[in-house]
Amino acid sequence: MKGTSAGRFGASRAKDADGGGRRFPAGGILIPFFSRSGRTRMVAGVIHELTGGSLCEIRGEKSYPSDYYETTAVARREKETGARPPVSGALPDLSGIGTVFLGYPNWWYDMPMVVYSFVEALDFSGRTVAPFCTSAGSGLSATVETITRMIPGATVLEGLALTDREVNGASVAVTEWLSRLGFARRD
> In CATH, what number does 26-185 get?
3.40.50.360
pLDDT confidence of residue 15: 31
Residue 6 has pLDDT above 50, yes or no: no
| Residue pair 122/149 in contact by the 8 Å Cβ criterion | no
Q: Which of 116, 111, 97 is nearest to 139 (CA)?
A: 111
DSSP string, 110-134: B--HHHHHHHHHS--TT-EEEEEEE
Q: Is 112 exposed, middle or buried (0-12, 13-18, 19+ CB in 10 A)?
A: buried
Residue 43 has pLDDT above 50, yes or no: yes
- Residue 105 and residue 26: Cα distance in Å, rounded? 28
pLDDT confidence of residue 150: 97
**CA angle 132–8–140, rounded 5-degree value:** 10
Residue 17 has pLDDT above 50, yes or no: no
- Residue 50 and residue 44: Cα distance in Å, rounded? 10
- Residue 163 and residue 116: Cα distance in Å, rounded? 21
pLDDT confidence of residue 184: 54
DSSP code for 141 = T
pLDDT confidence of residue 169: 85
Ordered by start, the domain boundaries in the chain are 26-185
pLDDT confidence of residue 165: 87
